[in-house]
Amino acid sequence: MELVGIVLPIAIIGGIVIFVVKRLEQKHKQGKLGKKKSRGAQILLDSLIPLGMLVGCAIGLILSMFFSISLLSTISFGSGIGLLLGYFAYEIYGNREENYS
């Protein structure tokens, strides 16, 4: 049972990482990665995935202070879930039209 507690976070986060990397690789080969016209919007788009990971790590750190979950597990789960949410934000923001008034 202890082995499951060690291997399960690695398997879950590894699956998330493989999913995100393969999807981005597929979009790169098709030439469909998100492109924005303004430089600021492009920088924000490129920063969504790392920002998601940082926010996930911070949430994991906060959760480990209040609950009796190990710090390493919460940080790894937080960064993995942040990676996934950052990728979804990248997809949504990358497909959005830019409106200039």
Letter for the amino acid at 32?
K
pLDDT band (50, 70, 90) for residue 101 = very low
Lowest mean pLDDT among 21-25, 56-60, 93-97: 93-97
- Mean pLDDT for the stretch of residues 65-69: 87
Please calculate the CA angle 26-49-8 and round it to the nearest 5 degrees: 85
Identify the three-state secondary structure at position 68: coil
pTM of the model: 0.82
H-only helix segments in 31-96: 39-66, 71-95
Residue 99 pLDDT > 70, yes or no?
no
Q: Where are the domains of the chain?
A: 2-95
87 has a pLDDT exceeding 80: yes
Q: Identify the CA nearest to 77 among candidates 14, 18, 20.
A: 14
